Amino acid sequence: MKQTQKKILVTGGGGFLGSHLCERLLKEGNDVICLDNFFTGSRSNVLHLLDNPFFEMMRHDITFPLYVEVDEIYNLACPASPVHYQFNPVKTIKTNVHGAINMLGLAKRIRAKIFQASTSEVYGDPAVHPQPETYWGHVNPIGIRSCYDEGKRCAETLFFDYYRQHSLRIKVGRIFNTYGPNMNPDDGRVVSNFIVQALNNRPITIYGDGSQTRSFCYVDDLIEGILRFMASGDDFTGPVNLGNPTEFTILELARQIIDLAGSGSSIVFEPLPEDDPRQRRPDIRLAKERLNWEPRVGLGEGLRRTIEYFENLLR
């Protein structure tokens, strides 16, 4: 056993980001507990890790207390796509708020360092572009997206109150649009939607006129950013933006996916959903300065890897 081996809890470890994080933590020689209720996560994302003696999979819902002994906690548990988090909005709020309280309580009891997977959605439909961490956001507190947006904002509040009141070692990362292998083909996210539609030669559905913008970060880059953040000094709590600052319109994304997939799909336009942000792009100057981190995988290369994953999955 390595001297540097840590015991690490990853909530939401069966999900898209969580499964990649579990794999990376194991590669670095850690003992990993993957916790998930598998509402949106998938056992298939982590099945290949079960033979590793330092990997343990636990079915649990973080809205209920948990008692384990670990050195670090990565709190990633929460449905992250509108289709899933709007399916049961009350449950989404409970996962964000009760889940944060339970994980913070655990971290306080065992004096563990804890990372919170926050989101760019805390900025809402932003009036400032690109979005720096100092921007407080423009969020509808009673809209159909509020269960996620306001739930994550409340979780950030809880993390900083535990930091101030109990001197807890916290890290709050605001994650922008991320894509790559292990995405759920039915999660309703724009990249997975477009790829599945393109590979099946079905019309690609764009909501609105396609001029709204997003920034897409490949999953390997995002995980590297999270790990650098967690390894940084305890004085750097965040929040810190983690995402790719290169901006694309949704129409540009659709056309690139059609081209890379060799698809015959057409493009159709539907009304824009309520409270859908018009633009989203992270200001990552803080991550560059404090973590020496910035994304390295371009959209074309990342989409090629993701399309290959979905080709194998659909086959």
What DSSP character marks residue 203? P
Could you tell me how many helices (H) and strands (E) the chain has, helices first? 9, 13
Number of Cβ atoms within 10 Å of the Cβ of 31:
18
Distance from C-alpha of 36 to C-alpha of 60, rounded to nearest angstrom = 6
Q: Tokens 């292998």: give the residue.
A: 181
Q: Which helix (H) or strand (E) holds 159?
A: helix 146-166
Contact between 150 and 302 (Cβ < 8 Å): no
List the one residue out of 217, 207, 212, 145 whose CA is nearest residue 174.
Answer: 217
- Helical axes 16-27 vs 219-231, angle rounded to 10°: 60
Give CA torsion, residues 45, 96, 103, 290, to 10 deg: 80
Which of 123, 148, 162, 179 is an active site residue? 148
Is 148 among the catalytic positions? Answer: yes
E strands along 178-313, which residues?
A: 178-179, 204-207, 213-215, 217-218, 240-242, 247-249, 267-270
User: If DSSP states are collapsed to H, E and C, what string results for 130-158?
Assistant: CECCCCCCECCCCCCCHHHHHHHHHHHHH
Active site residues: 148
